[in-house]
């Protein structure tokens, strides 16, 4: 074989014979040589036996197999060596020698271990080898490519079709003269030109890794609105029955197969002949990266019977293609004529150029010439570089794949032959169908792409394209309903409307916080935590917009991240705000102001959200989220699914801790007075969280409207329970302001202070009743609006936080001496603003509570707190409540104390009985 090929010493483009014996370099041809009977070996090195080869049998493509393909690929490579050696312009004064190495182990196995052993042998024991050509199966070559790169030996692959080899970081010395980059775009162009909207994908490895071409086919299909109705990874001859069931369940008609030669044959022919039902016929269209060439003819006949090849008719092949220029056409003619001349010595039916393409010969020839051209350019680039240095591996640092990226070589496949940034052949693509019915593996072209991969160009042909011997694409299956939410659908419009309504609620919330933050009903509800809660509501509503369309990995991650963050903000705010209130009411001593300061509790919220973000960042990087499609006879749906759920469990564990804390705070709030407690809100939130989670988890289709509405409801209910009471109180306050303004302008008048000289009869009665309790009783004068506290009988200081115009109304205070200290033992006091907007430091809707001290520092007063109950035409009623040392109601609910606005006498006074006063003071002593 080698002698015959090397005899074809023709000068490319010239009729001359070059004399190039001054120096030499060696290229290793590597492959499964022990497949061929007659070769002799010294270890892995082929030492002879070419004369024993049956070239006629190897020319019979009716028995096409991987062994036949490799023989003609390496034959084309040997012819490339002959052409280079005969050309004085390529590697001048330097001859290429060839060493051939077998990659099978002693048991005849072609494995990753065997190719690694051969690669190690070449790198360490054959120092004259400076480049490698060959091998066949990409799943094996990925191991040897790393070894050659570690020794800086360039490795050109003429048959490999896997993106894993194109990892420039792992394999910087590997390149190939077959094209992969862009094949998925070419496939999508063809499918769209046939109006195909649904396909199934089968791969002999994992579809979910970027090194798999089917991964890119699936992404391109989904991007172009082509449904992937089934995606089957790790298909092989042992599980084709499961593959068949999957294809049948989704009624797949167009099927894309990714795999190397042998596995492709195993999967395809088994589905054509062995499964029930079978999947070859007029209803099906197959796409394949490689022709279904079995590992051996004997194996194929035993498994599928004689004549199995006819079932390969109509497989759509996508191959690299570049529009032929005249130099390319000339070279192709020269190559075809030369090889046919060699072959005609052994067979009466030599290959035509199309058959040469089918068995992979052009990439083999281009591989060798590209290697030689790259080395020629290297020697020419630096006068100090010599062929001797090249042959002794002194220039290996310069022989990485970039040296061969654009050598200027006009090849069989491209003008010029260039490599992509991934190291594969830069090319447009041609579409053809296999001609299995003719008894050969012929490849009949019916269309191609332009060089930008944006247009499909059909060719007028006189042969059928599809298995059914027609050129009309069969239907791609029944009409499927995609279970996805579209904006323009009625459900999508409804969800959009709900989103708008929810965000309007948030905007109203923010408006109230911005313009009414000083109002007691807002300020006492904690503006800080209302603000943080409203931010959480806004984030939650925003996720409603992330349920539209077919989900992507980025969309799924963003939606989950925002939902979890919103949950942490809202629940964390409710927990901390109400925990602070519970602490205040439970304390039996004065709490330092810094312990109830908003800033301190806000730090806690930041901590909760911060921990949540750390966990979500870990989940984002470790969960390996992917998109899964599930189909039935009539529907298809897409769902987000993590491959690694551990971080998800940890994140939801934190949410469970927050929920447990919420339950605890709810329980502690149960006995607080309604004016100070959010118990009802907390209880409702505790109930809707598990109910909403159960409903969402029971919904199979996570892209439907239902989970989005559940999230909306779980967000809206607590929002309205916080917002509506505040709006009602603001409305009542505005009504009171209008009444009071009319009253101040002349309709009614009220004294700015209580006259000590003319006390009301009832007040006097109250004062006398107090004296019966013992100790000293005195009347307190009202505080003037300029905060003047003059007057020896006044113990009440003005609240500096009040607005100008606020009138402090004095009450009755009892003073007694305990352990030599004068302390205020009991106090009845109320503070009224000029608009009946009652000041408060802690609790919404209550009258201001101030600290009172005697002339001895550090002694604090007990308080009697009055709560507004109702506003009448001539009076305001208050519901009293004892506050410290114990929260015991003083007056019965049906007999409230009244603060009467006496419009006729122009004075304000307390209206309570002797018995009521005594009971009140007794409870506070």
pTM of the model: 0.46
Whether the CB-CB separation of 315 and 287 falls below 8 Å is answered with yes
DSSP assignment of 401-424: GGGGSB-----SS-SS-BB-TTSS
Closest CA to 241 of 273, 264, 288, 265: 273
Closest CA to 9 of 90, 99, 98, 85: 85
Residue with the bigger pLDDT between 15 and 728: it is: 728
Count other Cβ atoms within 10 Å, centred on residue 438: 15
Residue-wise pLDDT for 129-175, tens only, equals 999 999 988 889 999 999 999 999 999 999 987 888 998 999 999 99
Contacts of 792 (CB under 8 A, 6+ apart): none
What mean pLDDT do residues 722-727 have? 86
Crossing angle of helices 553-586 and 527-542, rounded to 10°: 160
Contacts of 667 (CB under 8 A, 6+ apart): none
Most confident of 184-193, 310-319, 790-799: 184-193
In this predicted structure, the answer to whether residue 700 has a pLDDT above a threshold of 60 is: no
What mean pLDDT do residues 783-810 have? 30
In this predicted structure, the answer to whether residue 226 has a pLDDT above a threshold of 90 is: yes
In this predicted structure, the answer to whether residue 779 has a pLDDT above a threshold of 60 is: no
Q: Confidence class of residue 442 from pLDDT cuts 50, 70 and 90? A: low
The rounded mean pLDDT for the chain is: 74
Count other Cβ atoms within 10 Å, centred on residue 224: 13
User: Which phi and psi (to 5°) does residue 500 adopt?
Assistant: -60, -45
Element (H, E) at 189: helix 183-193
> What sign does the dihedral 254-256-262-266 (CA atoms) show?
negative
Whether the CB-CB separation of 917 and 763 falls below 8 Å is answered with no
In this predicted structure, the answer to whether residue 379 has a pLDDT above a threshold of 50 is: yes
In this predicted structure, the answer to whether residue 872 has a pLDDT above a threshold of 80 is: no
SS3 876: strand
What mean pLDDT do residues 376-391 have? 94
Q: Which residue has the tokens 């077998």?
A: 102
Element (H, E) at 742: helix 705-742
Can you give the pLDDT at residue 674? 60
Residue-wise pLDDT for 26-49, tens only, equals 999 999 999 988 888 998 999 988
Of the candidate ranges 128-142, 176-190, 339-353, 849-863, the one whose mean pLDDT is the lowest: 849-863
Residue with the bigger pLDDT between 11 and 40: it is: 40
What mean pLDDT do residues 655-667 have? 85
The pairing of strands 807-818 and 821-832 is antiparallel
User: Which phi and psi (to 5°) does residue 134 adopt?
Assistant: 120, -140
SS3 623: coil
Phi-psi region of 93 (alpha: psi -120 to 50; beta: other; left: phi over 0): left
What mean pLDDT do residues 302-316 have? 85
In this predicted structure, the answer to whether residue 920 has a pLDDT above a threshold of 50 is: no
Residue with the bigger pLDDT between 11 and 620: it is: 620
Rg (CA), the chain: 44
Can you give the pLDDT at residue 560? 85
What mean pLDDT do residues 41-60 have? 87
- Strand arrangement of the beta sheet that strand 155-157 belongs to: 40-42, 45-48, 94-102, 23-31, 129-134, 155-157, 174-176
Of the candidate ranges 118-122, 230-234, 329-333, 341-345, the one whose mean pLDDT is the lowest: 341-345
Can you give the pLDDT at residue 811? 37
Residue with the bigger pLDDT between 591 and 169: it is: 169
Q: Confidence class of residue 764 from pLDDT cuts 50, 70 and 90? A: very low
The pairing of strands 155-157 and 129-134 is parallel
Kindly give the residue spans of alpha helices, DSSP state H, lying in 234-360.
240-249, 261-273, 297-304, 326-343, 353-358
Can you give the pLDDT at residue 661? 86
Residue-wise pLDDT for 327-340, tens only, equals 999 999 999 999 98
Kindly give the residue spans of alpha helices, DSSP state H, lying in 623-678.
646-668
Count other Cβ atoms within 10 Å, centred on residue 728: 11
Q: What percent of the chain has pLDDT over 90?
A: 24
In this predicted structure, the answer to whether residue 805 has a pLDDT above a threshold of 50 is: no
- Alpha carbons within 13 A on the beta-carbon side of 546: 20
Can you give the pLDDT at residue 617? 86
Can you give the pLDDT at residue 850? 31
Q: Confidence class of residue 840 from pLDDT cuts 50, 70 and 90? A: very low
DSSP assignment of 551-617: --HHHHHHHHHHHHHHHHHHHHHHHHHHHHHHHHHH-SSPPPGGGG-HHHHHHHHHHHHHHHHHHHH
Q: Confidence class of residue 802 from pLDDT cuts 50, 70 and 90? A: very low
What mean pLDDT do residues 609-621 have? 85
Residue-wise pLDDT for 73-126, tens only, equals 999 999 999 999 988 889 998 999 999 999 998 888 999 899 999 999 999 999
Cα 925 from Cα 715, distance rounded (Å): 46
What mean pLDDT do residues 733-749 have? 45
Can you give the pLDDT at residue 397? 95
Can you give the pLDDT at residue 434? 84
DSSP single-letter state for residue 745: I
In this predicted structure, the answer to whether residue 753 has a pLDDT above a threshold of 60 is: no
Most confident of 336-345, 402-411, 631-640: 402-411
Closest CA to 826 of 856, 792, 857, 860: 860
Can you give the pLDDT at residue 372? 95
Crossing angle of helices 679-697 and 705-742, rounded to 10°: 160
Q: Confidence class of residue 718 from pLDDT cuts 50, 70 and 90? A: confident
Closest CA to 286 of 278, 274, 294: 278
| CA 496-498-501 angle, 5° bins | 110
In this predicted structure, the answer to whether residue 812 has a pLDDT above a threshold of 50 is: no
Cα 354 from Cα 461, distance rounded (Å): 15
Cα 799 from Cα 550, distance rounded (Å): 61
SS3 476: coil
Of the candidate ranges 186-190, 226-230, 772-776, 868-872, the one whose mean pLDDT is the lowest: 772-776
Can you give the pLDDT at residue 7? 33
Can you give the pLDDT at residue 585? 72
Residue-wise pLDDT for 496-525, tens only, equals 888 899 889 989 989 988 888 877 777 767
Residue-wise pLDDT for 446-464, tens only, equals 888 887 788 888 887 767 7
Cα 537 from Cα 455, distance rounded (Å): 47
Can you give the pLDDT at residue 646? 78
Phi-psi region of 319 (alpha: psi -120 to 50; beta: other; left: phi over 0): beta
Residue-wise pLDDT for 244-299, tens only, equals 999 988 889 999 998 887 888 889 999 988 888 888 888 899 998 788 888 777 88
Contacts of 495 (CB under 8 A, 6+ apart): 485, 544, 547, 705, 708, 709, 712
Whether the CB-CB separation of 587 and 675 falls below 8 Å is answered with no
């Amino acid at each position: 074989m080698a002698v015959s090929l090397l005899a074809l010493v023709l000068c490319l483009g010239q009729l001359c014979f070059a004399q190039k014996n001054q120096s030499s370099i060696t290229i290793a041809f590597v492959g499964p040589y022990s497949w061929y009977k007659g070769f002799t070996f010294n270890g892995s090195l082929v030492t002879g036996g070419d004369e024993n080869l049956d070239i006629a049998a190897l020319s019979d493509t009716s028995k096409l197999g991987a062994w036949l393909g490799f023989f003609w690929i390496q034959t084309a490579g040997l012819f490339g060596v002959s052409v280079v050696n005969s050309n004085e312009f390529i590697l001048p004064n330097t001859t290429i020698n060839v060493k051939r190495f077998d990659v099978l182990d002693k048991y005849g196995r072609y494995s990753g271990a065997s190719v690694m052993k051969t690669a190690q042998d070449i790198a360490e024991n054959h120092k004259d080898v400076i480049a490698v050509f060959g091998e066949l199966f990409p799943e094996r070559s990925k191991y040897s490519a790393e070894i050659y790169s570690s020794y800086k030996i360039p490795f050109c692959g003429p048959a490999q079709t896997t993106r894993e080899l194109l990892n420039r970081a792992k394999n910087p010395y590997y390149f190939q003269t077959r094209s992969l980059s862009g094949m998925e775009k070419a496939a999508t162009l063809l499918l769209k030109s046939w109006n195909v909207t649904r396909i199934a994908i089968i791969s002999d490895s994992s579809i979910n890794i970027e090194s798999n071409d089917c991964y890119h086919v699936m992404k391109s299909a989904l991007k172009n609105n082509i449904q992937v109705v089934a995606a089957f990874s790790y298909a092989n001859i042992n599980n084709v029955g499961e593959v068949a069931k999957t294809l049948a369940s989704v009624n797949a008609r167009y099927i894309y197969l990714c795999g190397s030669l042998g596995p492709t044959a195993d999967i395809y022919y088994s589905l054509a002949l062995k499964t029930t039902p079978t999947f070859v016929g007029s209803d099906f269209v197959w796409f394949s990266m490689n022709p279904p060439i079995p590992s051996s003819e004997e194996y194929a006949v035993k498994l599928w019977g004689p004549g199995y090849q006819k079932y390969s008719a109509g497989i759509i092949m996508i191959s690299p293609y570049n529009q032929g220029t005249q130099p390319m056409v000339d070279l192709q003619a020269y190559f075809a004529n030369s090889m046919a001349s060699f072959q005609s010595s052994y067979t009466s039916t030599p290959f035509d150029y199309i058959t040469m393409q089918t068995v992979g010969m052009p990439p083999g020839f281009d591989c060798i010439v590209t290697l030689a051209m790259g080395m020629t350019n290297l020697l020419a680039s630096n006068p100090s570089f010599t062929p001797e240095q090249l042959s002794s591996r002194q220039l290996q640092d310069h022989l990485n794949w970039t040296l061969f990226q654009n050598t200027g070589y006009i090849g069989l496949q491209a003008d010029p032959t260039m490599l992509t940034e991934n190291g594969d052949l830069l090319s447009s693509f041609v579409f053809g169908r296999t001609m299995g019915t003719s008894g050969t593996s012929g490849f009949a072209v019916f269309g191609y792409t332009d060089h930008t991969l944006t247009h499909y160009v059909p060719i007028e042909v006189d042969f059928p394209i599809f298995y059914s011997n027609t050129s009309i694409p069969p239907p791609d299956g029944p009409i499927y309903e995609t279970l996805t939410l579209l904006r323009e659908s009625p459900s999508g419009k409804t969800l959009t409307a709900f989103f708008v309504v929810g965000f309007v609620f948030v905007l109203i919330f923010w408006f109230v916080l911005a313009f009414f933050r000083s109002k007691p009903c807002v300020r006492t509800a904690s503006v800080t935590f209302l603000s943080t809660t409203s931010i959480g509501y806004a984030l939650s509503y925003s996720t409603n917009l992330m349920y539209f369309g077919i989900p992507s990995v980025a969309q799924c991650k963003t939606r989950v991240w925002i939902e979890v963050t919103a949950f942490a903000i809202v629940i964390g705010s409710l927990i901390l705000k109400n925990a602070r209130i519970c602490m205040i009411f439970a304390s039996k001593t004065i709490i330092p102001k810094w312990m109830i300061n908003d800033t301190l509790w806000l730090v806690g919220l930041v901590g909760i959200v911060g921990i949540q973000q750390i966990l979500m960042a870990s989940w984002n990087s470790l969960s390996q989220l992917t998109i899964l499609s599930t189909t039935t006879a009539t529907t298809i749906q897409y769902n987000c699914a993590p491959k690694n759920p551990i971080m998800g469990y940890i994140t939801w564990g934190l949410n469970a801790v927050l929920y447990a804390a919420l339950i605890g705070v709810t329980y502690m709030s149960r006995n607080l007075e309604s004016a100070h407690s959010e118990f009802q809100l907390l209880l409702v939130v505790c109930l809707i969280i598990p109910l909403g989670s159960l409903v969402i988890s029971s919904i199979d289709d996570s892209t439907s409207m239902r989970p989005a509405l559940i999230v909306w409801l779980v967000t809206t209910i607590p929002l309205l329970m916080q917002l509506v009471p505040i709006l009602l109180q603001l409305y009542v306050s505005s009504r009171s302001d209008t009444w009071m303004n009319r009253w101040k302008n002349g309709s009614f008048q009220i004294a700015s202070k209580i006259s000590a000289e003319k006390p009301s009869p009832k007040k006097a009665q109250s004062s006398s009743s107090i004296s019966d309790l013992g100790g000293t009783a005195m009347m307190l004068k009202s505080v003037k609006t300029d905060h003047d506290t003059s007057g020896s009988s006044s113990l009440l200081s003005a609240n500096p936080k009040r607005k100008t115009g606020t009138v402090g109304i004095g009450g009755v205070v009892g003073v007694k001496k305990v352990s030599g200290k004068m302390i205020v033992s009991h106090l009845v006091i109320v503070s009224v603003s000029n608009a009946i907007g009652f000041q408060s430091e802690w609790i919404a809707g209550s009258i201001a509570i101030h600290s009172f001290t005697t002339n001895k520092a550090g002694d604090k007063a007990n308080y009697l707190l009055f709560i507004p109950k109702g506003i009448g035409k001539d009076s305001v009623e208050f519901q009293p409540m004892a506050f410290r040392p114990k929260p015991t109601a003083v007056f019965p609910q049906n007999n409230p104390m009244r603060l009467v606005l006496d419009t006729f006498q122009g004075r304000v006074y307390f209206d309570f009985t002797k018995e009521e006063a005594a009971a009140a003071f007794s409870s506070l002593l």
